[in-house]
Every structure is written in C-alpha cells, then in structure tokens.
Amino acid sequence: MNGIFHLLWLVAFGDKPCHQDSGAACLVPPSTINPSREDMAVTSTTTVIQVGGAPSSRNWSTELCDCCTDTNTCCCGFWCFPCMQCKAAGDFGWCCAMPLLDFFCCAVSCCLRASMRERYNIDGSCCNDCCALMWCYPFVWCQMAREVKIRKHGSAPPTTMVITNQVT
C-alpha cells in the first residue's frame, strides 16, 4: 500500500516531500515518501550464452552437398578419394586403412558414420546412413571428413557468458 500512496503523491505534488509547516494538507505520511526496498518489486532475468566451442546442435555441421564450404576437403575427395577417406578415419581415431576395406560393401562407412553420430551427439539412424551411403557415397565421406575437421581442429573450448538484468 505504501507504494501506491507514494505514486499518488508523486503524480499530485512531484518530488517535493510533505512538510506540515508548508500550509498544504499532507495526504501521505512522511514515512511513505521514501519507501523501503521491501516494498519495491524486483524482476530478474538471467540469460546464458555459449560462445565458441564445437557445434551444439544435434545436426551435422555441414549439409551433405556443402562441398564448397571446405574446398580443400572437396578437392582431396575429388582428386584422391581414398586419401581423403583414410585421413578422415585416422583423424577420427580409427585405423587409417579401415576405409580401404569398404570396397565392395559400405559396412565400414556405416560403422564409422554411426560412431561419429554417437560421439558428436548427432541425430540420425543406421538406415539413413546406409541409404545416404548407397546413393551419395562420395558426398557422405566428404561430409564426415568436414565434420571431423570442424570438431577436431576448428573448435576452441566454449566460453559461457551469464547476463543478469534486474528491473525495479
């Protein structure tokens, strides 16, 4: 209630405090002119922002046909596809010769892609991986190579900023 009286006083008389000797009628007791902090409503908003670090979405960092986002990987895949496969597998932590066993079937590629999805927390399924590999084999490998490169070399540790606003 003190806050309402204070607001009415400010609207009617401005910032002047009520003085009994001024001859004006005092509508608000002097104790309510400067209300205590308990009478004020405080609203607080906290925002947490992550800057930098590895991509946090549950999707691949690049799309399947985003070869132009990393022309080095694209050129390596075009001119020496087995070299790009072996480098991607080695950078991921697998034996670099594993993709060479993938000549007749896509079992190694499916396992590597599933392992990448699991490690990097990317949505998808084995069925999607196998279908993509059957129809877009070189593009899938370029995407996996870009993902390993982005996650391994292109990410700094994330920095978290906390912003708090208080409105009284």
Q: Are residues 85 and 34 both part of a single domain?
A: no
Cβ-based burial of 144 (10 A; exposed 0-12, middle 13-18, buried ≥19): buried
Element (H, E) at 135: helix 126-152
Please say if the pLDDT value at position 53 is more than 70.
Answer: no
* 168 part of a folded domain: no
Domain membership flag for residue 75: yes
Decide: 166 and 42 in contact? Cβ < 8 Å: yes
Percent of the chain whose pLDDT exceeds 70:
61
- My answer on whether 72 and 36 are in the same domain is no
Q: What is the mean pLDDT of the chain?
A: 78
Q: Is residue 29 part of a domain?
A: yes
Residue 158 lies in a domain: no
* Confidence at residue 105, expressed as pLDDT on a 0 to 100 scale: 81
Residues 6+ apart with CB under 8 A from 42: 166, 167, 168
Q: Examine the domain organization and report whether 71 and 33 are in the same domain.
A: no
Residue 48 lies in a domain: no
Residues 88, 128, single domain; the answer is yes
50 assigned to some structural domain: no
Residues 145 and 79 in one domain: yes
The pLDDT-based confidence of 4 (bands split at 50, 70, 90) is low
pLDDT of residue 17 exceeding 60, the answer is no
Task: Say if CB 139 and CB 34 are below 8 A apart.
Answer: no
Mean pLDDT of 117-141: 94
Q: Please check whether residue 60 lies inside any domain of the structure.
A: no
Please give the residue range of the domain that contains residue 33: 2-40
Q: What is the pLDDT of residue 156?
A: 43
Domain identity same for 9 and 77: no
Residue 124 shares a structural domain with residue 87: yes
- The answer to the question of residue 57 being in a domain is no
Domain count along the chain: 2
Q: Alpha carbon of 55 to those of 38, 58, 107, 117, 147: distances in Å?
A: 44, 8, 27, 13, 10
